[in-house]
Chains A and B, each alone.
Chain A
Amino acid sequence: MGALAHYIEREGISTTQVSLVKEHTLKINPPRALWAPFELGRPFGAPDEPDFQRRVLKAALKLLERDSGPVLEDFPEEAPGSASEEDTEGWACVVNFSEAVKEITVEEDPLGALKQEMDRLRSWYDLGVEKRNGRTTVGISEVDLDILSEYFVSLIDDVDSAPPRTDIPRFQMVKLAADDLKAYYFEAAAAQPGNATDKSLADWYYGETAIGKILALVNESCRLSGDEVLMKMSDRRLLPIHQKHHKLAVN
């Protein structure tokens, strides 16, 4: 990102930035930067914390008034809700189980298991969307979630199965499908009561759900596909580094 600052500044416009990886900022040496000690993905600290976000933004913008650089300042505060491990214990996503309905397992019917799980989360997902006045981050693939689920599960046995969109490369279709499903689950789980953190959400999603198991199976299919792009994706684009322990054991 710091390189963009150089390119824009050289055309005559002042730039400032928030930096999350100080080592990168020191290497790239942009004109003005505010280093913030927050998690990757959270450059303004924490969601729904407008006062805190405003302090970060003001601190970064204030650097615009410096007319010699490079300037690299540290933001002095930790993000609100930077919870310790102890604080996050106890959160669990409550899926709407019913004893009257047979539990479908991924082993016997992956698509059935996925649909059952997604149905059970539906009311939570809807509640989350309502709370955010209609905003959802699902829909990046522009494919209906039912069709997307069928496609994603089909990849377990056949990475060449017909994609729902043919106007984008296959690897991108696989990635967007994975991202859309993840967005649906995360939004649903985050709508539940309790202090769900990104760690507890990720641990639940990758470690305790049917979609987590399916993702590990798709990851493995991609790894064994013989397709160079899908093979690369399997190690880098489907499972985050911090959830790699959910990869299938490889013989």
Chain B
Amino acid sequence: MVHLHEMPDAARNRLVNQDLPHYDDVECVAGPPLSERKIAIVTTAGLHKRADKPFTHSLGEYRIIPEDGGMSEIVMSHASTNFDRSGYQQDLNICFPVDRLRELKADGKIGSIATNHFSFMGASPPETQEAAARDLAGILKADGVNGVILTPV
């Protein structure tokens, strides 16, 4: 239903052609094999703990999702109505694959999992997220994270 190719032309064109920054200078940091990496999830799905403040459009802020916290308390306050939420309602892993990550750790495919994961709300101008993202990178490094999987919604 919300496959891009099924959207009305005008809506699809508006989404696809939205104004976005282009980065010519692409940093690509080297690191150890996957089996030795510590991985964090950073999502733009607007997820957070139920008791957290809901996201407000365009502030570029993030919320903390502790790895050892109760994932049944995770809710979504994303501003957009134009993506499917029924999958997320059924299974959080559809946009925040925390159980899958734990399985990969148990199988030795990744080294370990970060103490905390983090969530932004997409649909915000990217530049509003820069300060928070740079700050977040420092927090991740302090935790020993050397691999981030970014997940949209």
Distance to closest chain A CB from B63 (angstroms) = 13
Chain A: which residue is nearest B39 at the CB level? Answer: A61
B122 vs chain A, min Cβ distance (A): 6
Query: Are A50 and B87 in contact, CB atoms less than 8 angstroms apart?
Result: no
User: With A24-B20, A242-B1 in contact, do A58 and B90 touch (Cβ < 8 Å)?
Assistant: no
Count of CB-CB pairs between chains A and B under 8 Å: 287
The digit string for B72-107, where 1 denotes a CB below 8 A from any CB of A, is 100111011111111111111111010111011000
Residues of B within 8 Å of A133, CB to CB, are 72
Residue interface mask A127-149, B partner, CB < 8 A = 1: 00000111111011110000000
A106 smallest CB distance to B (angstroms): 21
Chain B residues with CB under 8 A of A183? 85, 89
A-B CB contact pairs (8 Å), 29 listed: A1-B44, A3-B20, A11-B138, A12-B29, A14-B30, A14-B146, A14-B148, A17-B150, A18-B152, A23-B17, A24-B20, A27-B22, A30-B23, A39-B87, A40-B82, A41-B153, A42-B84, A44-B95, A46-B94, A57-B100, A57-B104, A68-B28, A69-B26, A139-B50, A168-B54, A179-B77, A197-B86, A198-B86, A242-B2
A interface residues with partner B (beta carbon < 8 Å): 1-21, 23-24, 27-32, 38-48, 50, 53-54, 56-58, 60-62, 64-71, 132-137, 139-142, 168-169, 172, 175-176, 179, 182-183, 186-187, 190, 196-199, 201-202, 236-242, 244
